[in-house]
Amino acid sequence: MELKRGTRVADEIIILPIGAADPALIEFLSLTVGQAFGRDVRAGWAAMAPDFAYDPVRRQVHSTMLIDRIEAMPHAGDPKVLGVTEADLFIPIFTFVFGEARLGGRAAVMSVARLRESHYGRDDDPRVLYRRAEKEALHELGHTFGLVHCLDYGCVMHFANTVEDVDIKGDGFCAKCERRLATRLNPRRSPG
Amino acid sequence: MAGDIRILIVDDDPSVRDSLGRWFRDEGCEVDVAGNAKEALRKLGEAAWDVFLLDIRMPGMDGLELQQHILAVQPDATIIVMTAYASVDSAVRAMRQGAHDYITKPFDPDAVERLARTAVERRRLQRQNEQLKRAVAELEPEAEIVGDSPAMRNARRWIEAAGSSDGPILIVGERGTGRETVARAIHARSVRRYMPFVTLGTALAGPELEAEMLGLEQGPGGRARRRGKLELADGGTLFVDGIAGLGPKAQEDLLRAVEDKAICRLGAERRIPVDFRPIAAAEREPAPGEPGLRPELLERLAVVTIRLPPLRERREDIEPLAEQFLRRCGRKMNRLFQGFSSAALQTLREAEWPGNVRQLQIAVERAAVLKDGGIIDEHDLRPDADLGRKESDGDPDEIARIRGALAAAEGNLAVAAGILGVDRADLFERMKRLGVERTTGK
Ligand SMILES: [Zn+2]
Ligand SMILES: [Zn+2]
């Protein structure tokens, strides 16, 4: 699907690596996640190190702090920004999170640490990682577009907190979420 | 969806209020927070709440006392108490006094997920029947089951009937006839629609397949436990593609899970209840007493058999199918197609289509990507085109094929993957491995 001409720069989606990131994965996400939202995607290489949000006791990175930092960054127009990190993420009350997003806001972050097969003692397979990461990216970005969790296992907005659940859930939005997404996307689009 | 479920979170720790609040807002709930019992009681006076999350230890009035006040006003309230590991005893006391559940800090997402399910989805379930009926009405007809031939009409009747029942199904059809599509269509029409659809492929064998099916209590090197496909399918549908390719041990495991409605993860004693609907598929009809297939299993699974005819036995469906694929392709690429020339149609109708509907689809898509629109002519078509799989590594043809597809798709990865009949992750991984650069379109 061709991206609609006239998509304003302001409406783009930025994939922002946080800390060292696998460039192939960033490229893959840049190529795939825009379609569902009808927006241009680009990889933002403005460096952002996760150190300031690192908790030495938990040895994890506080995802809400990353989100706050991203929201505070100056951006042209009104993009959505998805931070992607290799670091394991947490929010204080949880042992870990795959990702976090500001509902209806600008920023989301996701961790690939627990999406890799090697985290579970198996051999890494880039294809498996790409598929999982694409679902998680769509999911977190879906939140930034105001979508909430969906009951339907076939839908990418279904909540998953184990890789097995990520693997069996669908990689697109169900009809209901699609409709909801359309109503959020369209009022913002200027005609022509 | 859950906008009318109202949750009040009471905790003196702002980070708990914020994070839990955000969590339940993501679930679609309406959330308010209170930093102490007094504030909570004021909010209780102002409005009704469905679910309360109470911290047990708070300065001033603690969670246990607050719980008594809430239950006095609202006896049907769902109350969940939150506690540190050290004070589980008081949580147990809270449960005895009417709390619905408790969670310990820091929360395991699993635990909160369970809470969200029990406390919130219980209410959603009441509405689910209604939603279900609407969702079924919204389903688009799937490409592979389009067609007006008597064979296809018959198959569609069976699919509808299978959707409204909950018994095991056997689907028999050659490759490319859409066995998985049909299984998904049945799942989407069934009461299990909102639960998982899990595919068990038969590419694995031996202990690996067994682990894939049953899961591992402890992963390799003492890593995280892993749930198997049979467990993941709980509540939903398990699709077993290529039933005849399952080894004897896997057949026994499957039979036992279907009969006992329970499994044991490898290395575990505990039985885990599982309730899935099995849908099996086979390339051809298994004969009773067929070697390599347990008769009890066949008996279990082949309660209803749906036969998908090969495309060559329903040639009258070729034209409507091809038209539909072309329209869909045109929409995807923003191009306007007027259809096929009569010579092209004749070519399509006369081809053998050993790869069936899937092969027809690929042939149409390949023709379409090389045209800017207009009419697809005979010479645009390659009905003998292979299915684009089983490409061996380092095949110089493969690189050319990927480049060609990317060029036709103007650099769009998803479209190129569609042309090649592989998924996006697959195509991208091959591009990286073979060093194929993506050339950007206009
Ligand atoms: Zn989510
Ligand atoms: Zn959905």
* CATH architecture of the domain covering B149-309: 3-Layer(aba) Sandwich (3.40)
B217 touches chain A (CB under 8 A): no
Nearest Cα residue to A104 out of A72, A74, A140: A140
Q: What is the pTM of this model?
A: 0.70
Which positions in chain A touch B236 (Cβ < 8 Å)? 153
The CATH code of the domain at B312-381 is 1.10.8.60
Q: How confident is the model at residue A191 (pLDDT cuts 50, 70, 90)?
A: very low
The CB density around residue A121, as the number of other CB atoms within 10 Å, is 15
- Strand segments (E) across chain A: 13-18, 41-43, 54-55, 60-62, 80-85, 89-90, 99-101, 107-111
Residue B161: count of CB within 10 angstroms of its CB: 14
Mutation target for B interface from A112, A118, A153: give the one with most B CBs within 10 A. Answer: A153
Residue A4 lies in a domain: no
DSSP alpha helices (H): ranges in B172-314? Answer: 179-189, 206-214, 229-232, 248-260, 295-301
Residue A171, in any domain of the structure: no
Residue with tokens 């909010």: B43
Name the strands in the sheet holding B30-34, side by side, starting at the edge strand that comes first in the sequence: B30-34, B6-10, B51-55, B78-84, B101-105
C-alpha B208/C-alpha A13 separation (Å) is: 40
Burial degree of B336 (CB within 10 A; 0-12, 13-18, 19+): exposed
Mark yes or no for CB contact B107/A95 under 8 Å: yes
A179 touches B at CB < 8 Å: no
Q: Is residue A24 situated within a structural domain?
A: yes
- B292, B214, B282: which is closest to B253 by C-alpha? B214
The answer to whether the CB atoms of B424 and A169 lie below 8 A apart is no
Query: Does residue B220 register a pLDDT over 60?
Result: no
With a cut of 80, say whether residue B133 has pLDDT above it.
Answer: no
In the three-class reduction of DSSP (H, G, I as helix; E, B as strand; rest coil), residue B60 is classed as: coil
Contact A152 B194 (CB under 8 A): yes
Spatial separation of the C-alpha atoms in residues B246 and B292, rounded to whole Å: 9
What percent of chain B has pLDDT above 70?
83
Q: What is the CATH number of the domain that holds A51?
A: 3.40.390.10
pLDDT tens digits for A120-159? 878 899 999 999 999 999 999 999 999 988 878 889 998 8
CA distance B418 to B400: 16
Is the minimum CB–CB distance between A46 and chain B shorter than 8 Å?
A: no
Who's near B95: CB < 8 A, 6+ residues apart? B81, B101, B102
Q: What is the mean pLDDT of residues A102-122?
A: 91
Q: Comparing C-alpha atoms, which of B238, B242, B240, B280 is closest to residue B261?
A: B238
pLDDT over 90 for what percent of chain B?
A: 21
**Whether residue B435 has pLDDT greater than 50:** yes
- C-alpha torsion A86→A91→A92→A96, nearest 10: -60
Nearest CA in chain B to A23: B432
Give a yes or no: residue A23 inside a domain. Answer: yes
pLDDT digits (tens, 9 = 90+) for A57-70: 989 999 999 999 99
Instruction: Write out pLDDT tens, residues B50-103.
Output: 788 998 888 888 888 888 888 777 766 788 888 875 566 777 777 777 777 777
Q: Does the residue A166 lie in any domain?
A: no
Cα B46 to chain centroid, rounded: 42
Confidence of residue B280 (pLDDT cuts 50, 70, 90): very high
**Which of residues 52 through 81 in chain A touch B, CB cutoff 8 A?**
64
pLDDT value for A65: 94
Does the residue A161 lie in any domain?
no
Q: Which residues of A are catalytic?
A: 140
The neighbourhood of ligand 2, an ion, using CB within 5 A, equals: A 150, 152, 155, 157, 174, 177
Q: Does B328 touch chain A (CB under 8 A)?
A: no
Segments making up each domain of chain B, as ranges:
6-130, 149-309, 312-381, 396-434
In A, which residues are within 8 Å of B55 by CB distance? Answer: none
Q: Which of A103-112, B326-335, B358-367, B385-394 has the weakest average pLDDT?
A: B385-394
Q: What would the DSSP string read from start to end of A102-149? A: -TTSSEEEEE-GGGSGGGGTS---HHHHHHHHHHHHHHHHHHHTT---
A9-18, B65-74, B318-327: which has the highest mean pLDDT? B318-327
Q: Which of the residues B5, B7, B24, B26 would you substitute to probe the A interface, choosing the one with the greatest number of A C-beta atoms within 10 Å?
A: B26
How many domains is chain A partitioned into structurally?
Answer: 1
- Is A178 within the bounds of a domain? no
pLDDT at B119 over 70: no
Q: What is the predicted pLDDT for the residue at B126?
A: 40
| CATH top-level class of B6-130 | alpha beta
What's the pLDDT score for residue B134?
A: 45
ipTM computed for the complex: 0.85
Beta strands in B196-317 (DSSP E): 197-200, 215-216, 226-227, 237-241, 262-264, 271-273, 277-282, 304-307
Chain A residues with CB-CB distance to B25 below 8 A? 103, 148
Task: Give how far Cα B5 sits from Cα of A152, B19, B47, B74, B186, Å.
Answer: 19, 18, 12, 15, 32
- Report the separation in Å between the CA atom of A139 and the middle of ligand 1, taken as the mean of its atom positions: 6
Would you say residue A156 lies in a domain? no
pLDDT of residue B140: 46
DSSP-derived pairing of the beta strands A80-85 and A41-43: unpaired
- Interval B371-401: pLDDT, tens: 778 899 988 886 565 444 444 455 667 787 7
Bridge-based pairing state of the strands A99-101 and B337-340: unpaired
User: Among the listed ranges A170-174, B16-20, B239-243, which one has the minimum average pLDDT value?
Assistant: B16-20
Of A95, A127, A161, the CB nearest to B425: A127
Whole-Å CA distances, B395 to B398, B428, B434: 5, 17, 10
CB pair distance less than 8 Å for A161 and B18: no
What residues make up the domain containing A46? 9-149
Question: Are A184 and A145 in contact, with CB atoms under 8 Å apart?
Answer: yes
